[in-house]
Amino acid sequence: MSRTWSRRGFLWLLGAGAGSLTIGVTYRACDEQRRVPGPADIEDAFRPNAFVTITPDDQILFALHKAEMGQGIMTGYSMLVAEELVVPLEQVHTYFADGAPEYRTSKNLQLTASSTSMTEGFVPIRQAAAAARIMLIAAAAKQWGVEPSDCEVGDGEVRHAASGRAARYGTLALAAAKQGLPKDPPLLSDVQSRLIGSSPTRVDTRAKVDGSAQYGMDVAVPGMVRALIVHPPRIGATVISIEAARARGMPGIIDILSFAAGVAIIAEKYWQALRARPFVEVEWSPGIPFSTSALREQLTLGHSAAAPTQIPRDDGEVEAALAGAPTRLEAIYEAPYLAHAPMEPQNCVADAHTDYVEIWAPNQSPTVFQDAVARLVGLERNDIIVHSTFLGGGFGRRVVPDAALEAVALSRLVGRPVQVIWSRESDIRQGHYRPLASISLAGALDQARLPIALDYHCFAQPIFADQAPIFAAMAPDWVPPSVRNWTGEVGTAMLANGTVGSETLATEGAVELPYTITNVRIGYTPIDTPIATAFWRSVGHSFNAFAIEGFFDELAHAGGHDPCALRLAMLPAASRARAVLVAAAALGGWGDPPTPGFAKGLAVHECFGSVCAQVVEAGVVDDRIEVARVWCVVDCGRAVHPDLIRAQIEGGCIFGMSAALWQEITIEGGAVLPGNFDGYRLLRMHECPQIEVEIIDSTAPPSGVGEVGVPPIAPALANAIFAATGVRLRRLPLQAAWLEAKGAAS
């Protein structure tokens, strides 16, 4: 196959004309080429950088190097490009970029995480489009013998008003490619915006509404077989034997085998593997008899036994202040392991060859996937081609390359492309959880009944310890795989136990405590369990906001203060949190009489550069927690797409609410108890309160909104329940905690 991929062929694959575009399902590299042809190979295209391509037939192509998992970065970035090229949004054809070195913009990784995409890309993506604009103008000006400054752009053309000449971008492509790359292209939208700040229909909405959006599970490549994985039923269990005589004879079954991840039922079609599953009996070793209830007990006792091993913040003299204060409070706050449970279970298509591997996966980091696969098979990182699809939810789970490693291993074994599709039970039970946390707090009020001291000690697994694949992937390409293995394993261990640097994730959201309390100590002790952890939407903030905002509320009530008034009194005057809280209190009618039987609670939290406050009206009816309404205010800097921001805050709030109310990964005897949505409950429409979102007007650079809506809901809800009932719930999930409190009282 010629290296110059015809423009028509590529655009056919893009499905030009439709609203949202992905590399076509049937697209594969041919044997002579490692790298998948893309816009870089379109003949005579103008490609000033890795992001923007203008084709000779006037198509504007934009490479999205971030994962689109519903957070809307596909639309956000497309808007930035359309803005600086001065074209309607519909004229930008956005496609998912494969894993490649030029896209490693986050700590040497091509990565979508930590609510950073818009913050990271706001200037560079606009510059990429602006550079193209400048060069197109320069090309036209040269052709016409006029000054570039006398030319304008609009509707995909360069125009010279004085002479009435105009040329479409496509016709200028060849000439533009010869112009000099501008070093610092001026950004039109720094002066005036047309698109930024508006809320156009998202570029992927049409495809998601007509069923054409391609998720990982929808990918099919010629010769592909499917694999259903039977994962271990207990942590650490391994295969002892497989009884599958009858299953092997069933239609379409290719093989049933034991491998690193468990047992694979490989068939031509997934439905054939499903039909064979009941006839596959696996004998497993006992595994590790891990128990979450035993761990909770152990940690509760452990709080009185030892001092923290890491102290990332130590202001004033906490112990002296606590000892000498007239009023002292103590509490233990707990949060469970949580699964991400995206609607699309884990899956991956892999086609392993001796000298390269090609994979299609919903993923949050092509680099992590490239690196993990490269180390598995003994190839170079850039011999691993990673195609990304839409993600049916990510929430941090899809940074983990587990399904990809399974698919690659199986493809090597059977010599054909393999699609691995996880069951929902596998998705919920196969680890990589938000860590369980047990946090002890002690606080004191002074003579004026104001908080004077806060001592916090968190027991939780260091999330860094499970991120070896990420740390290995951060090493440059030239670092040998064995050394990358080392940096991955040993490096993360050293971070996790504080030998070098420290585990920051377990205390994030506590270390940054915004209240002007004189004596504050934030301590952390890592715990070691066989459970794998991962980033779960808002990470450490997801449990630290619960502990901090819940306990601060306790201090407020102990001092006879209104919880909002005390917060405002103890937030620095010019702080963003203060302004957000004031706005939320106003929006939520704080101080207005609530619905009978209900009461309001609130919380404010900052994470990943943005601040969100939530006021919740809730109560308990017949021992059932009911959430009536939620009011949210967010400060995320300049709002690029206000409606999308509102959707993310609503969605984050609902995501957090499901966890706050019901979700818990309980493990007994090494077996994860919940398996499907009956045991791991998600909020449903009839349980969803009315949620109102207001965005603070700001001209600061945009900060992320994917996660900040999650942390405040749990503490705001617990605070509302206290206000309504006098019962303080200190453990998540709250519904279970309520019933335990009732049981203990009776």
Partner 1 sequence: MHLMVNGAQHEIDIPDDVPLLWVLREELGLTGTRFGCGQALCGACTVHVDGKARRSCVTPVGAVVGHAITTIEGLGVGVGLGGDRELSRVQAAWIAEDVPQCGYCQSGQIMAATALLRIKPAPTDLEIDAVMSASLCRCGTYQRIRKAIHRAAKTSGGGDSP
- Identity of the residue, 683 or 720, whose beta carbon is nearer to partner 1 in the bound complex: 683
Q: Go through 458-488 and write b for each residue having 16 or more CB atoms within 10 A of its CB, e for each that does not.
A: bbbbbbbbbbbbbbbbbbeeeeebeebebbb
**DSSP-derived pairing of the beta strands 451-460 and 519-526:** parallel
- Identity of the residue, 19 or 704, whose beta carbon is nearer to partner 1 in the bound complex: 19
User: Per-residue x/- mask for partner 1, residues 426 to 465, rule CB under 8 A?
Assistant: ----------------------------------------
H/E segment holding residue 519? strand 519-526
Q: CB 614 → partner 1: shortest distance, Å? A: 14
Q: CB 392 → partner 1: shortest distance, Å? A: 3
Q: Does 206 bind partner 1 (CB under 8 A)?
A: yes
Q: Using CB under 8 A, which of the segments 102-110, 147-155, 593-601, 674-682 binds partner 1?
A: 674-682
- Identity of the residue, 230 or 321, whose beta carbon is nearer to partner 1 in the bound complex: 230
323 exposed, middle or buried (CB, 10 Å; 0-12, 13-18, 19+)? exposed
Q: CB 696 → partner 1: shortest distance, Å? A: 21
Query: CA 134 → CA 102, 130, 183, 340, 725, distances in Å?
Result: 22, 6, 11, 44, 64
Residue with tokens 């090309």: 139
Q: CB 73 → partner 1: shortest distance, Å? A: 11
Q: Using CB under 8 A, which of the segments 323-331, 343-351, 597-605, 721-729 binds partner 1?
A: 343-351
Distance CA 719, CA 614 (A): 11
Query: Within 408-427, which residues bind partner 1 (CB under 8 A)?
Result: 421, 423-424
- Identity of the residue, 384 or 691, whose beta carbon is nearer to partner 1 in the bound complex: 691
Do 261 and 296 touch, CB atoms closer than 8 A?
no
Q: CB 538 → partner 1: shortest distance, Å? A: 14
- Identity of the residue, 270 or 464, whose beta carbon is nearer to partner 1 in the bound complex: 270
Task: Kindly state the DSSP code that residue 98 receives in the 8-state scheme.
Answer: P
Q: What are the residues whose beta carbons fall under 8 Å from the beta carbon of 157, sequence distance 6 or more?
A: 166, 167, 168, 169
Q: Does 69 bind partner 1 (CB under 8 A)?
A: yes
Binding residue (CB under 8 A) for partner 1 from 50, 274, 311, 569: 274
Distance CA 75, CA 70 (A): 10
Distance CA 603, CA 601 (A): 7
Region class of 8: left (phi > 0), else alpha (psi between -120 and 50), else beta: alpha
Distance CA 656, CA 335 (A): 12
Task: Kindly state the DSSP code that residue 357 receives in the 8-state scheme.
Answer: E
Residues in the chain: 746
Residue type, 479: V
The residues that bridge with 167 in the sheet, in sequence order, are 158
Distance CA 314, CA 211 (A): 54
Binding residue (CB under 8 A) for partner 1 from 4, 6, 8, 18: 18
Q: Does 269 bind partner 1 (CB under 8 A)?
A: yes
Q: CB 691 → partner 1: shortest distance, Å? A: 6
Distance CA 41, CA 53 (A): 10
Q: Does 201 bind partner 1 (CB under 8 A)?
A: yes
Do 129 and 186 touch, CB atoms closer than 8 A?
no
Q: Does 270 bind partner 1 (CB under 8 A)?
A: yes
Q: Using CB under 8 A, which of the segments 263-271, 328-336, 550-558, 583-591 binds partner 1?
A: 263-271
Q: CB 269 → partner 1: shortest distance, Å? A: 5
Residue type, 416: R
Q: Using CB under 8 A, which of the segments 67-75, 186-194, 292-300, 574-582 binds partner 1?
A: 67-75
The residues that bridge with 420 in the sheet, in sequence order, are 227, 348
User: Per-residue x/- mask for partner 1, residues 380 to 409, rule CB under 8 A?
Assistant: ----------xxxxxx--------------
* Closest to 72 measured CA to CA, from 642, 638, 612: 642
Q: Does 621 bind partner 1 (CB under 8 A)?
A: no
Q: What are the residues whose beta carbons fall under 8 Å from the beta carbon of 368, sequence distance 6 or more?
A: 109, 111, 399, 401, 469, 470, 473
- Identity of the residue, 255 or 643, whose beta carbon is nearer to partner 1 in the bound complex: 643
Total number of residues that touch partner 1 (CB under 8 A)? 67
Binding residue (CB under 8 A) for partner 1 from 1, 320, 323, 343: 343
Q: CB 314 → partner 1: shortest distance, Å? A: 39
Q: Does 242 bind partner 1 (CB under 8 A)?
A: no
Rounded-to-10 torsion of CA 154, 160, 163, 167:
-70
Q: Using CB under 8 A, which of the segments 39-47, 49-57, 140-148, 267-275 binds partner 1?
A: 267-275
Q: CB 655 → partner 1: shortest distance, Å? A: 6
Distance CA 211, CA 275 (A): 27
Q: Does 284 bind partner 1 (CB under 8 A)?
A: no
Q: Does 207 bind partner 1 (CB under 8 A)?
A: yes
Cis status of the peptide bond prior to 733, with omega within 30 of 0: yes
User: Per-residue x/- mask for partner 1, residues 629 to 668, rule CB under 8 A?
Assistant: --------------x---xx-xxxxxx-------------
Q: Does 202 bind partner 1 (CB under 8 A)?
A: yes
Q: CB 423 → partner 1: shortest distance, Å? A: 6
Task: Kindly state the DSSP code that residue 689 receives in the 8-state scheme.
Answer: P
Q: Does 588 bind partner 1 (CB under 8 A)?
A: no
Six-digit token pair at 729?
């719930």
- Identity of the residue, 104 or 537, whose beta carbon is nearer to partner 1 in the bound complex: 537
Binding site for partner 1 (CB under 8 A): 15, 17-19, 69-72, 199, 201-202, 204-215, 217-218, 220, 251, 269-271, 274-275, 341-345, 390-395, 421, 423-424, 643, 647-648, 650-655, 676-678, 682-688, 690-691
